[in-house]
Amino acid sequence: MDRREFAKLSALAVAWSSLPLAARDIVASGNDVSQKPVGYAAIGLGTISDIFMRGCANSKAAKITALVTGHPDTKGAKYAAMYGIPKTSIYTYETFDRIRDNPEIDAIYVGLPNSMHCEYTVRGAMAGKHVLCEKPMAISSAECRKMIDACRQAKVKLMIGYRVHYEPLWNRAIQILKSGKIGELESFHGGFFGQQPAGAWRLTKSLGGGGALMDLGIYPLNAIRHITGEEPTDFTAIVSTRDRSGRFAEVEQSMEWTMKFPSGIIASCGCSYGARGPSVLNINGDKGYLVMEPAFNYDGLRLRGEVGGQPIDESSAGKQPYQFTIEAEHFSECIRNHREPESPGEEGLKDMLAIEAIYRAAGAPIA
């Protein structure tokens, strides 16, 4: 998609998102309410799958029709009761491949730890199901390529859960950028910071694949790539682990990095698993600027700045899980109308190539 097409899509997204859900169903091509909803099997019933399932419950285009869990009698039974799923549609990781025989499942939603994304995407594709996989797409570019190939061979769609691409306030920001009112883009400052408790799977190399960059830094990285439409070519990076308790024995605590794009745009970003800090993206042009803060949260996003010489201050109206509803509806529409998702597997691969380059620049290569 070129920039003009993207701007058009962004404008549509803003108008569309201001409509109530029922009206959107009628307007959105392919999400005709008279059609059966696209059926999703949620894999891994943790934090993000819980939100995704609630997002689907608010939609007429997406429905949770199956569950995959290591705890079928507890977590499985609980969610099955919530979403009216028959016992026969609760699978374990061992019986997962039998989803092939379940016509109520059109797609899988992969809400597993990062290092399991590749295996379940490939197995899902081999079972003939479309795949909506959480970010980061996998833990190496080699795995990303394997996932893209498997989905291509099986002729199923692959989308990565970059929910920010579907957030109306982000699309509004992109509209402003395309209008030229902040002039030529010069630079970005981005960050996403939080705390991970000792023992979390995110702090292990085997499940997380890397540390804060893989999980949090990917947000400003992806947003900047998405906005510029360019791939970064030059990197500097530095990692630091100050906490000596052993919590960060396997992955970095904090990462700061810079990137340069072919047009000359530069970006400076940071992330941490051991710091309190904002979720933020500053976008600086030669005539104005935008600040999205919070930038990457599930709701409550706020866009401020100076546009055309005037201050702006806008907030997102939606409440969690609306981003997941929009994301699920987008993928459902792609499945119904044989269209490529806006955030396909290739988008996840490009982020992973940049992540690998950043780790290399920091002297802590992961691939």
Active site residue ranges: 135, 219
CB of 291 to ligand NAD, least distance (A): 21
76 is a contact residue toward ligand NAD (CB under 6 A): no
- The residue to which tokens 């269209």 are assigned: 339
For residue 64, what are the β-bridge partners?
40
Pairing mode, strands 130-133 and 158-160? parallel
With residues binned 3-state (H G I as helix, E B as strand, rest as coil), the percentages for the chain, rounded to 5, are 40, 20, 35
CB of 223 to ligand NAD, least distance (A): 13
Q: Considering only residues 113-132, where is the footprint of ligand NAD by CB under 6 A?
A: 113-114
135 is a contact residue toward ligand NAD (CB under 6 A): yes
- The residue to which tokens 């190539």 are assigned: 353
Query: How many residues sit in the footprint of ligand NAD (CB under 6 A)?
Result: 17
Rounded Cα distance between 168 and 248, Å, is 36
SS3 category, 118: helix
C-alpha distances in angstroms, 310 versus 23, 72, 306, 307, 316?
Answer: 33, 56, 5, 5, 20
CB of 270 to ligand NAD, least distance (A): 18
Position closest to ligand NAD via CB: 46
CB of 351 to ligand NAD, least distance (A): 12
Q: What is the distance of C-alpha 323 from the center of its chain? A: 10
341 is a contact residue toward ligand NAD (CB under 6 A): no
Q: Considering only residues 26-45, where is the footprint of ligand NAD by CB under 6 A?
A: 44-45
Out of 7, 54, 178, 201, the only residue in the binding site for ligand NAD (CB under 6 A) is 201
Out of 161, 270, 274, 318, the only residue in the binding site for ligand NAD (CB under 6 A) is 161
Q: Considering only residues 211-250, where is the footprint of ligand NAD by CB under 6 A?
A: 215
Helical H segments across 190-244, by residue range: 205-208, 212, 218-228
Rounded Cα distance between 241 and 234, Å, is 24
Q: Which residues bind ligand NAD (CB under 6 A)?
A: 44-48, 70, 111-114, 134-135, 161, 163, 201, 207, 215
